[in-house]
Homo-oligomer: A and B are copies of this chain.
Amino acid sequence: MEALDLIRTLNARPAVRSFNDRSVPLEVLRQIIEVARWTGSARNRQPWRFIGVSDKELLEKLGALGAYAQHIAAAPCALILLSADNGFQDTEFDLGKVSQTVTLAATALGLGSCLATIYPEANVTKAATLLRVESGWRPHHAISLGYPGAPMPGKRAITTGRLSTLELLSTHRL
């Protein structure tokens, strides 16, 4: 049961948007990708690539790309998740899967993280230019990464609880 408890503990950790000054070494990003790259995907397409960014100016520019990317500007590092622009219906689902592995692996390494969505499409195009992404790949999602700083003052606008198992799970003859 130990393994399950560990996943629960890592998964229940709230998102972190406030970081201290400690930088995220490239070796740590490599360790995260080394775990995340085994994530399953439809027909094993692995429709993802990753760009690690720690350049302050670039982080600020990325953080200006829409309402759901702002926290990137204050993070010491962002891991950009590139989605294959392949028209397959499963691609967003697969990107969600690998992002979840990245989040769990980052948490296991003591990092705080917060998902960002670069939105709308015009901002995805801007991000692609800033990051010099080759065509066929879309920087639509990113994960802010860093070592947790002091919690931000004030209450979060969004409730942080979760629905119970009883509310979430029904059964057919089990």
Contact = CB atoms under 8 A, between A and B. Distances in A.
Interface of A: 3-4, 6-8, 10-12, 15, 24, 26, 29-31, 33-40, 42-44, 46, 48-55, 58, 68, 77, 89-90, 92-101, 103-105, 108-109, 115, 117, 119, 131, 141, 158-160, 162-165, 168-174
Contact of A172 (B7, B42, B131): B131
Contacts of A68: 42
Contacts of A171: 26, 29, 51-54
- Oligomeric state, in number of copies? 2
Q: Which of A29, A30, A37 has the most CB of B within 10 A?
A: A37
Contact of A169 (B24, B29, B103): B29
Contacts of A165: 30, 33-34, 37
